[in-house]
Amino acid sequence: MKFKILKALDVAGLQVFDPVVRLICGENPPEQVRKILLFIGVPIVTFIVFLGVWTYLAPRHTTKAGEVPTPGVVKSAADGIWTFHVRENQKATDFLLEGDAREAALTAVEARIAELEPLAAAAKVKLDELDAAAKAKIDAEAAPLQEQYKEMRKTSRDENKATKAALIAEADKLPVNDAAARDAFLAKVAAFDLKQEADKQAQKDFKAKIDAAYTTKFPEMEAVRSEYNGYEEELQYLSKRLDYLTGDNQSLKIAGESTELNELEATFLTAEGGKATFAAAEKVLKKQEAITRISDSEYSRPWTFPRQIARSVWCVFVGFFIGTAIAVPLGVVCGLSRVCMAALTPLIALFKPVSPIVWLPIVFIIVGGFISDPELAPVHPAFLSSAITVALCSLWPTLVNTALGVASVEKDHVNVARVLRLGFFSRLFKIVLPSALPLIFAGLRISLGVGWMVLIAAELLSSSEGIGKFVWDMFNNGSSQTFAQMFVVVFVVGAVGLLLDRIMIVLQRSVSFDGAPTAI
């Protein structure tokens, strides 16, 4: 049992939990505790230290674009993203609700609205008060400063004007060719210039003070504001839910249309005269069509982050499989034949370093040529383009590793195959590929990692739904949440990438018979 678990952990690349299992089984506790501390305790401590440093440093670095978010802010941004997802799902559900479930939801929503409205109103009143107070305070502070500034500027202007006039008057009387007097005058003019500069600087500094007065922060007001905004946002969401539970609800719409259909059918049954009957028949058919259309309709849900993540993962796998399907056969051919290797080496070397940003527009044009009507295409062209870009950028490690693996099959094995007079395909599948597999999988693992990194950039450019599009959209929002949302993306991308890598490690280990070590 114990060894089975240990073996499983080993294959899954989760050796860090090895000591835990051993400890539970009572094997040499002090040694295991030491290992646990080292392999589990130390990383946890490091992570906590990392969070601590982050929490400490973040508020100390403020740019005009905003503050670096602390872990708490990032958490709340993540919550916001999640809330949006949940709410959109709720709306989609509401659209389809019927019967008692709809009634119940409606009551709940109405109750919540009744609960929130007074809260929102109260918050609004408080906010207005605080806002007025803040404005008054700023004005009280800034107005005298503004006056002072005006005074200061005027004095400086008048003084400078007077000085200038005096200097000109003095210059008028300057004796010609008197070098000493002229030098003295030059010094005076220089001093005047300096004074002007100094005045300008003083005014600038003073203005900064005024600006500071205007940018005074009122934490209490901000707190009330965000509270009020929270209420109003929820109310907005609830009012939309009301729509989907009442007028826009699918079942109600169908019910309404059905009543009309019944009336139309009645009219049709009693209609007389060719023209009228025909018209009535057409109306009935049209109504029936409308009903089918409504029952087929879906709530048009915007893409939310969790769905975008799923779509990105799907896209990277599609791209990865396309890449593998090209790279492995090509690698095998290169490994087997020196001529092929020589022929392809320059091409590989040429295309390998090309960035996804360059591939994407090219792929876009080529894919677009095959898909004339995106509505009818089985896959969205932007999705396909992103996947192919991922394939183009990620196939190189697999290709090179496969070629290397195939080329470095042990001579003895090849000789055995010769002796046994194996055919080409038996030789390929019995000897060459099995011994090249570990290297191929090492290549695949790198490829998947590269593909995941490339994908985000590709999605960002192609506006194919996915994490990349989320990044670009949120960046475009430029809201106070944007910065924190980017941090959320960092963690999500990292976590998914880690997961993908682990999957590849498992695969890689399951094909390596010599227990080849894997990097972390």
Partner 1 sequence: MKRTIINTAAIVALGVTSVFADLDLEKDELKFGFIKLTDCAPLVIAKEKGFFEDEGIQAEVIAQPNWKTLLDNVINGNLDGAHMLSGQPIAATIGIGTQADVITAFTMDLNGNGITVSNAIWEEMQFNDPDLDTPTPKHPISAKGLKPIVDEKLDAGEKLQMGMVFPVSTHNYELRYWLAASDIHPGMYTESDTGGRTDAQVELSVTPPPMMPTVLEAGNIQGYCVGEPWNQQAVAKGIGVPVTTNYDVWKNNPEKVFGVTKEWNAANPNTHIAVVKALIRAGKWLDEKDADGNFVNREEAVRILSQPNYVGADYDVIKNSMTGTFIFQKSDVRKMPEFNVFFDHYATYPWYSDGIWFLTQMRRWGQITESKPASWYFDTVQKVYQPDIYLQAATLLLEEGLIENSDVPWNTDGYKPATTEFIDGVEYDGRDPIGYINSHKIGNKDAEGLASK
The contact set with partner 1 (CB under 8 A) reads 64-66, 80, 84, 110, 113-114, 117, 142, 146, 150, 153, 157, 200, 204, 210-211, 214-215, 225, 229, 232-233, 235-236, 239-240, 242-243, 246-248, 252-253, 255-257, 259-260, 286, 290, 293, 297-298, 300, 302-303, 368, 372-375, 381-382, 460-461, 463, 469, 472-481
Residue 86 beta carbon to partner 1: minimum distance, rounded to whole angstroms: 13
Residue 189 beta carbon to partner 1: minimum distance, rounded to whole angstroms: 20
Which is closer to partner 1, CB of 450 or CB of 456? 456
Structure-token pair, residue 484: 């924190």
Query: In angstroms, rounded to a whole number, what is the distance separating the alpha carbons of residues 95 and 322?
Result: 38
Type of residue found at 334: C
Query: What is the 3 state secondary structure string of 93-111?
Result: HHHHCCHHHHHHHHHHHHH
Structure-token pair, residue 459: 């999605």
Tally of CB atoms within 10 A around 5: 16
Which is closer to partner 1, CB of 89 or CB of 146? 146
Which is closer to partner 1, CB of 177 or CB of 476? 476
Structure-token pair, residue 444: 């695949």
Cα–Cα–Cα angle for 96, 108, 228, nearest 5°?
110
Which is closer to partner 1, CB of 142 or CB of 327? 142
Which is closer to partner 1, CB of 10 or CB of 232? 232
Residue 316 beta carbon to partner 1: minimum distance, rounded to whole angstroms: 20
Which is closer to partner 1, CB of 286 or CB of 418? 286
Which is closer to partner 1, CB of 390 or CB of 461? 461
DSSP string, 20-87: HHHHHTTSSHHHHHHHHIIIIIHHHHHHHHHHHHHHHHGGG-EETTEEPPPHHHHHHHHHHHHHHHHH
Q: How far is CA 15 from CA 4, 22, 348, 387, 417, in A?
A: 13, 11, 37, 33, 38
Burial class (CB in 10 A: 0-12, 13-18, 19+), 458: buried
Cα–Cα–Cα angle for 475, 480, 483, nearest 5°?
50
Query: In angstroms, rounded to a whole number, what is the distance separating the alpha carbons of residues 417 and 413?
Result: 6
Q: Contact at 8 Å (CB) between 313 and 496?
A: yes
Query: In angstroms, rounded to a whole number, what is the distance separating the alpha carbons of residues 390 and 396?
Result: 11
Which is closer to partner 1, CB of 75 or CB of 153? 153
Which is closer to partner 1, CB of 104 or CB of 171? 104
Identify the DSSP state of 55: H
Cβ within 8 Å of residue 193, ≥6 positions away: none
Residue 98 beta carbon to partner 1: minimum distance, rounded to whole angstroms: 13
Distance of alpha carbon 516 from the chain centroid: 36
Type of residue found at 48: I
Which is closer to partner 1, CB of 157 or CB of 164? 157
Residue 95 beta carbon to partner 1: minimum distance, rounded to whole angstroms: 10
Which is closer to partner 1, CB of 40 or CB of 134? 134
Residue 128 beta carbon to partner 1: minimum distance, rounded to whole angstroms: 13
Residue 66's DSSP bridge partners are: 63
Which is closer to partner 1, CB of 158 or CB of 178? 158
Cβ within 8 Å of residue 231, ≥6 positions away: 116, 119, 120, 123
Residue 401 beta carbon to partner 1: minimum distance, rounded to whole angstroms: 35
Residue 152 beta carbon to partner 1: minimum distance, rounded to whole angstroms: 11
Residue 465 beta carbon to partner 1: minimum distance, rounded to whole angstroms: 9
Which is closer to partner 1, CB of 119 or CB of 341? 119
| Three-state SS at 123 | helix
**Rg, C-alpha atoms of the chain:** 37
Residue 285 beta carbon to partner 1: minimum distance, rounded to whole angstroms: 12
DSSP string, 281-327: HHHHHHHHHHHHHHHH----PPP-HHHHHHHHHHHHHHHHHHHHHHH
Query: In angstroms, rounded to a whole number, what is the distance separating the alpha carbons of residues 53 and 49?
Result: 6
Q: Contact at 8 Å (CB) between 2 and 21?
A: yes
Query: In angstroms, rounded to a whole number, what is the distance separating the alpha carbons of residues 383 and 317?
Result: 12
Residue 169 beta carbon to partner 1: minimum distance, rounded to whole angstroms: 24
**How big, in percent rounded to 5, are the helix, strand and coil portions of the chain?**
85, 0, 15
Residue 215 beta carbon to partner 1: minimum distance, rounded to whole angstroms: 7
Residue 365 beta carbon to partner 1: minimum distance, rounded to whole angstroms: 10
